[in-house]
Amino acid sequence: MAQQDSFRIQRINELVRRELVTLLKNETKDPRLSSVVITDVLTSRDLSAAKVYYTASEEHKAEVDPLLNKAAGFFRSRLSKTVDLRHTPALRFIFDPAPNTGARIDDLLSKL
């Protein structure tokens, strides 16, 4: 049973990620959000909450976090209309430094 639950959660995570990417591209008008890339979504087992990991350009990084978390209700309401789930999870946006770290490590290795 736990195997099926984890597979179901993985599918929901990917579905929510794809829909958020579409919403960011098509529904937001703020140019600061154009550089946002959703890297991962982790949904709780009861689907009540989801952590949305993102990266953004260096110039907009400080502005993007408050913007995304302020717009979480907007994204949640739009998700509820496009994703067929009994309960739409509450969204919490978290900056993901991993892609920037990887690029920095590649740069350092190329300099050696």
Looking up tokens 């946006």, which residue turns up? 93
- Beta strands 49-55 and 37-43 are antiparallel
Assign 3-state DSSP to the chain and report helix, strand, coil percentages, each to 5. 60, 20, 25
Structure tokens at 93: 């946006």
Q: What average pLDDT does the segment 13-42 reach? A: 90
Domain boundaries, the chain: 2-111
* 2-111: CATH class: alpha beta
The pLDDT score that the predictor gives to residue 60 is 76
Could you tell me the pTM of the whole model?
A: 0.81
How do residues 48-104 score in pLDDT, each as one tens digit?
Answer: 999 999 988 777 778 888 999 999 999 999 999 988 888 899 999 999 877 665 566
| Cα dihedral 93/27/20/54 (nearest 10) | -40
The pLDDT score that the predictor gives to residue 1 is 44
User: How many C-beta neighbours within 10 Å does residue 10 have?
Assistant: 13
Model confidence at 13: pLDDT above 70: yes
Model confidence at 28: pLDDT above 80: yes
The angle subtended at Cα 79 by Cα 78 and Cα 85, nearest 5°, is 140
